[in-house]
Structure 1
């Protein structure tokens, strides 16, 4: 992701909506308070029951190298990216279709869609890229599977100043809640899936939110704020997995929760903010975009961050400003 666009009340701009494709359905209930029970309120007192929510990450200054075979699904060389349907990468990432940063686009001068390639993937703490690319053959175009019928809603994109619809979700403790339960508080939320290991995507959103969390915790003058991370991988990111993922980040669940929901609800909220992602049986396709949102205490959209280049300190400043807006009477 090359950068970010911030949409605020001063900038009435919004990207066109891109429909999301199929994820498997997970049921969801309704109407709890989003704050989890007291006995589960802190990472120190809760039991970690998640199963492998995150891939190991290199320490600062270190890098990991993987040699991978995959098939080119798309070329975005103008953006310095290529989309590859790759094999399982042991101890890092299961078979997926993902965008990769290309170190030298000239390596793709004689490579096209459906070509099979072998390459080196280098992963550092905050960035990754591929190089040493060689073409090893070509494959027939992958047939798109027939999509089974599922319910979807005809939704309109949301913009700054709109009130967020009241979505039912389930948090990391299996507790059901509605987004309207956050009324009276400024709410910041972002979207991830925990199996995403690429440091410029979901892990970056989680690192940034951790910094926002720490910045907000350091300001004792404001207490009416909350953070929420929403997973769009409804099949894999169960409450159990999200609970383990939250503990990795060592946060107070009275301030920062992780949630998922029924597919129809996740499709609705992600489509309204222009996210694009997909999933098909046998492989995972998460060539996804990034969105982060701030709501004021009235439940209105105060800012929309598009991309990954926003700074946590600026985000925290915007969240503090939103928290000062008076709730609706």
Structure 2
């Protein structure tokens, strides 16, 4: 009897151990990356604006470096916080230090501290700005026609927004040196996924086109744009990267609420993504970076319908 009980216990033991292992599985590669695939940068800057919701701040910051490597030049950019207490009791003009956290497609700041002394002025963007002539344009609303704007694409070819009449046109704004993963790289990644979805979906419309408009024409030459475009596996039949005269770029940007500038050689900007229907009229303007490629696909499918 005793021997039978011992035999039964030994027979059931592997099952018990297997059951325990199922309750506590080993970490997957993805879960490990969440904690390890992060980059940290210590930065100083001056607060220019605290957003009303307390979730982000516009900061004029020094060049961001790590171990002698330049990650981002000095510029003025909005930064998100995970904890709104980080920005509590801070105001415009305060000099701060903070940690920039870059993780995958996201970036935010934490460990924000008010400083009694200013960072080195040589490390901050110059107060001098680059001035250029601008065109007096009116803001575009939903249903308004988009005027013709002229650019040069990554292949050195002339491109006009009027060329896409009869197609759904989606355009956004980027510059290739932008390093923050939730700004220009996210716009390009979303466009890449949008292209992939539309080209692989049965019965999806074919009368559509994507434009990524650079507001840094001095740096973003056709060759530079071509190299950048290749990183996102663009199909030039459906997606072009363009730059052009700064007056043209400023005008189309002003009409859709895209604000950018050159501050001491550094780009500052917000985010806008626009969908134009087959009649050349504004259908949708996405603000910020919270939209998804699925949402853009949905708008393009609607915009591609010939009225």
Deviations 1:247-289 (A, max 9, x none): 110121111110111011011100000112221224x241x32
Structure 2 partner of 1:72: 47
- Note if contact 2:62-2:73 (Cα within 8 Å) is conserved in structure 1: yes
Query: Secondary structure at the residue paired with 2:251?
Result: helix
Q: Show the counterpart of 1:204.
A: 186
Find the aligned partners of 1:99 and 1:63 in 2 and give their Cα distance. Answer: 20
Q: Structure 1 111/294 Cα, relative in aligned 2: closer, same or farther at 3 Å? A: closer
Q: How many residues align?
A: 265
The CA deviation string for residues 56-105 of structure 1, in whole angstroms up to 9 with x for no partner, is xxx96321111122233333363311222222223421221111112334
Is 1:298 the counterpart of 2:273 in the alignment?
no
Could you say which residue in structure 1 is the equivalent of 2:141? 159
Indicate the RMSD between aligned Cα atoms, in angstroms.
2.5
Q: What's the CA shift for 1:123? A: 0.8
SS of the equivalent of 1:242 reads helix
Distance in 2 separating the partners of 1:294 and 1:209? 12
Which of 273, 283, 288 is the equivalent residue of 1:307?
Answer: 288
Residue number among 225, 242, 255 corresponding to 2:238 in the alignment: 255
Match of 2:219 among 232, 236, 250: 236
Q: Contact 1:115–1:138 at 8 Å: present in 2 too?
A: no
Q: Distance in 2 between matches of 1:245 and 1:69?
A: 30
* Residues 114 and 139 in structure 1, CA contact (< 8 A), matched pair in contact too: no
Report which stretch shifted further, 225-234 or 67-76: 67-76
Indicate conservation of the 8 Å contact 1:77/1:105, yes or no.
no
Structure whose alpha-carbon radius of gyration is higher: 2
Shift of 1:316: 0.8
Please say if 1:135 is aligned against 2:114: yes
SS of residue matched to 1:99: strand
Match in the other structure for 1:120: 99
* Inter-partner Cα distance in structure 2 for 1:60 and 1:172: 35
Structure ranking higher on relative contact order (CA contacts 8 Å, 6+ apart): 1
Distance 1:136 1:79, change over 3 A: closer
Tell me how far 1:308 sits from its aligned partner: 2.1
2:64 corresponding residue in structure 1: 89
Q: TM-score, normalised by structure 2?
A: 0.78
Q: Does 1:168 align with 2:153?
A: no
Q: Deviations over 1:168-191 (max 9, x none)?
A: 101112211211111222211111
Distance in 2 between residues matched to 1:68 and 1:146, nearest whole Å:
22
Structure 1 runs not aligned, ≥5 long:
1-58
Query: d(CA) in 2 for partners of 1:218 and 1:274?
Result: 32
